[in-house]
Amino acid sequence: MKVFIFAALIVVVASQGYPKPQYPAPAYPTPNYKVPAYPAPAYPSPAYAKTPEYAPMPYNFNWAVKDDPSYNDYAHQETADDKGYVTGSYRTLLPDGRTQIVNYKADDYTGYVADVKYDGEAKEYKPAYRPAGYPSPAYPSYPSPAYSASKYPSPAYPSPAYPSPKYPTKY
């Protein structure tokens, strides 16, 4: 109970705040100087040439990779017209056995719009082990080193002078 009374007393004292100062605030005079006038720069401001805008160039390309040993199977095809409209598609073989096919369109008005489809059914990925297509390396045999154990026996150390520790068998 005494703690509550003490806390209430501290709150009352803290809420009264500090008294206002009894001295007037200082008054500073307005400065009496002229604002300097700077001359205009003697050099002309840079005039950058506008970047030329070229008309879109039509093109058509495609490529594909099918490499069974490395499981790489993907392709890409794209076409653009002289108005900047681009259409294309690409496909890739996923590790789960499906083929991902993406058909897309792009232009300045709608941006990039893609339609993603999957062909096939997903399976658990288990890479098949394939032995290397080259023979294992044959390493030359070398003579045993000159520092072998028969020439230099391992050192013999005396047993320590202190007793060995006795640990409890159960914890």
pTM over 0.85: no
User: SS3 breakdown of the chain: % helix, strand, coil, rounded to 5?
Assistant: 10, 25, 65
Report how far Cα 24 is from the mean position of its chain's Cα atoms. 61
pLDDT in tens, 15-51: 666 667 677 778 888 888 888 888 888 888 888 888 8
Label residue 144 by pLDDT band (50, 70, 90).
low
Rounded CA-CA distance 103/154 in Å is 73
Asked if residue 97 lies in contact with residue 120, where contact means CB atoms within 8 angstroms, the answer is yes
pLDDT in tens, 48-101: 888 888 888 899 999 999 888 887 889 999 999 988 899 999 999 888 889 999
What is the arrangement of strands in the sheet containing 86-93, beginning at the earlier edge strand? Answer: 59-67, 72-80, 86-93, 99-107, 111-119
List beta partners, residue 77: 62, 89
Q: Is the pLDDT of residue 142 over 80?
A: no
Rounded CA-CA distance 161/4 in Å is 69
Both structure tokens of 77: 């095809």
CB neighbour class for 119 (10 Å; exposed up to 12, middle 13-18, buried from 19)? exposed
